[in-house]
Amino acid sequence: MNGRILVPALSGSIFGAGLALGGMTDPARVRGFLDIFGDWDPTLAFVMGGAVLVMVVAWQIQPKLTEPLFGGGFALPGTQDLTPRLIGGSALFGIGWGIAGLCPGPGIAALVIEPISAAIFVGAMLAGMLLARLFERNA
C-alpha cells in the first residue's frame, strides 16, 4: 500500500479513534454539551479545543509548503459570502446534530461501536446527501 492510501487511512483511523476516546460517538454526551441550562457536559468543548490547536499548527505550516506531502494539491476553502444554501445547510446540520447527537465523523466512527443505531444515522445522512444532489441537479 503506497503513501497516498496509507496516510489518509491512518489519519482517518486516528481521527475516528480520537472521536471514540473523546466520547463523541455517544449521542448522550453530545446532547449534554448542547444542554447549557441543564446538566451541561463540557467534554465536547475540550475535543473542539484540541482540534483548533491542531489547525493552528497546520495553518502555520501550510503556507511554507509548495504542495502536500501526500496529495496532488491543497484544496483550501475560499472566502465567499454567506449564501442561502450555506445557511440552510448549517441549520439542517445543527438540527440533525441536536436531535441525533451525532454528526458525520462521529456517526461513521460509531459504526464500529454501535453498528445498528449508527447505521440508521449514517443511512439517513446518506439519503439526505443524495436528496440534496438530486435537488441541485434539478434546480
pLDDT band at 7 (very low <50, low <70, confident <90, very high): confident
Cβ(19)–Cβ(101) under 8 Å?
no
| pTM of the complete model | 0.71
pLDDT digits (tens, 9 = 90+) for 103-115: 888 888 889 888 9
Residue 52 confidence (pLDDT): 94
pLDDT at 139 over 80: no
pLDDT digits (tens, 9 = 90+) for 48-71: 999 999 999 999 999 999 888 777
Residues for the chain: how many in total? 139
More confident residue, 59 or 139: 59
pLDDT digits (tens, 9 = 90+) for 14-57: 988 888 888 888 988 888 998 899 999 999 999 899 999 999 99
DSSP string across 78-133 = ------HHHHHHHHHHHHHHHHHS--HHHHHHHHHHSHHHHHHHHHHHHHHHHHHH
Domain extent listing, the chain: 3-138
For 5, how many CA atoms within 13 A lie in the half-sphere containing its CB? 2
CB neighbour class for 28 (10 Å; exposed up to 12, middle 13-18, buried from 19): exposed
pLDDT at 79 over 80: no
Rounded CA separation 100/44 (Å): 15
In this prediction, residues 87-115 reach a mean pLDDT of 88
Give the 3-state secondary structure percentages of the chain, helix then strand then coil, rounded to 5: 70, 0, 30
For 121, how many CA atoms within 13 A lie in the half-sphere containing its CB? 25
